[in-house]
């Protein structure tokens, strides 16, 4: 725990020293947000679209952008650089639990995501979005997205540990990408075409997105939040279990 924090602080220092790496994480999701609102905003006017609860379309789109920003897996790219460069072995030569090396990076990823998520929500407030669930809902939204960012980059770190190659890790991230879009990211699930509805229903990311959206549009919806929490907890447990296995057997 202690060592994970020490390594987490070091990973944060690393991020702060490479601020350039934050630019795409922030700009690409904002770009999609603005473009999607611009293109679909007139199809879904706020006073005439049921699922918007009186808000504008940006409120509906925001969760997709937040989850996109949480899915860059920056931690894994630093990790693989460290494996390729050999510094990883120097850390492995110390008497710390192997898992702290993974956890340290995940903690830093959480902090980074809190900053980015809060900033993106602040920007969308300026675009007229309101958080129906209030300040407590805002905090919950930021925490939920940031834990998801940890889980996602944890899976990317698994690829990094397995392949030990930067190119493979980047390519591996693309495998997860469809999961972000096989979701009800433009309209609610019941308005999707049948095949898409099935895909979205099977896709766990859907429930994280719907939980986030419920905080923005509806207030506190126990069912939606519960499903989101279960998905995040299950994915997190799987990621941690696999990480422990992989890093303890790293050879």
Partner 1 sequence: MTNGQAEHPSAIRAVGLVKTYRGSTGEIEAVRGVDLEVRSGEVFGFLGPNGAGKSTTVRMLTTLMTITAGSAHVAGVDVAADPDGARHKIGVALQEAGLDPRQTGRELLTLQARLFGMSSSEAAARAEELLELVELTDAGDRRIKGYSGGMKRRLDLASALVHRPDVLFLDEPTTGLDPASRLTVWAEVRRINQLGTTVFLTTQYLEEADQLCDRIAIIDQGRIVREGTPSALKDDLARRRGDGTTPTLDDVFLDATGRTRVQVDGDVKEIQA
Binding site residues, partner 1, CB under 8 A: 3, 6-7, 10, 13-14, 17-18, 82, 85-96, 251
Judged by beta carbon, residue 14 or residue 197, the one nearer partner 1 is 14
Closest distance of CB 86 from partner 1, Å: 2
The answer to whether the CB of 162 falls within 8 A of the CB of 152 is no
Closest distance of CB 10 from partner 1, Å: 6
Closest distance of CB 121 from partner 1, Å: 29
Judged by beta carbon, residue 82 or residue 210, the one nearer partner 1 is 82
Q: Is 136 helix (H, G, I), strand (E, B) or coil?
A: helix
Judged by beta carbon, residue 98 or residue 130, the one nearer partner 1 is 98
Closest distance of CB 71 from partner 1, Å: 24
Judged by beta carbon, residue 96 or residue 180, the one nearer partner 1 is 96
Angle of helix 98-126 versus helix 134-163 axis, rounded to 10: 140
Q: What is the DSSP string of 3-50?
A: HHHHHHHHHHHHHHH-GGGHHHHHHHHHHHHHHHHHHHTTTS-GGG-G
Judged by beta carbon, residue 10 or residue 245, the one nearer partner 1 is 10
Residues in CB range of 12: below 8 A, 6 or more apart: 108, 111, 112
Q: Which two tokens stand for residue 195?
A: 């095949």
Q: Which two tokens stand for residue 206?
A: 């859907």
* CA–CA dist 186, 40 (Å, integer): 9
Closest distance of CB 119 from partner 1, Å: 23
């Amino acid at each position: 725990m202690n060592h994970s924090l020490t390594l987490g602080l070091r990973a944060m220092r690393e991020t702060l020293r490479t601020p350039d790496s934050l630019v795409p994480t922030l700009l690409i999701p904002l770009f999609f947000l603005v473009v999607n609102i611009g293109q679909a905003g007139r199809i879904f006017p706020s006073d005439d679209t049921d699922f918007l609860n009186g808000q504008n379309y940006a409120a509906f789109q925001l969760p997709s952008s937040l989850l996109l920003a949480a899915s860059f897996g920056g931690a894994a790219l630093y990790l693989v650089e460290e494996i390729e460069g050999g510094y990883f072995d120097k850390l492995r030569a110390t008497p710390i639990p192997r898992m702290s090396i993974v956890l340290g990076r995940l903690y830093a990823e959480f902090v980074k995501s809190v900053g980015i998520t809060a900033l993106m929500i602040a920007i969308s407030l300026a675009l007229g979005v309101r958080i129906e669930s209030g300040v407590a809902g805002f905090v919950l939204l930021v925490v939920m997205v940031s834990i998801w960012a940890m889980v996602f980059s944890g899976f990317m770190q698994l690829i990094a540990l397995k392949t030990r190659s930067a190119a493979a890790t980047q390519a591996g991230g693309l495998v997860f990408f469809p999961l972000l879009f096989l979701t009800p990211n433009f309209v609610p699930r019941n308005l999707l075409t049948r095949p898409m509805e099935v895909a979205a229903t099977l896709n766990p990311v859907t429930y994280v997105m719907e939980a986030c959206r419920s905080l923005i549009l509806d207030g506190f919806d126990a069912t939606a939040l519960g499903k989101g929490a279960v998905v995040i907890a299950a994915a997190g447990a799987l990621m941690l279990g696999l990480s422990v296995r992989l890093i303890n057997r790293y050879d």
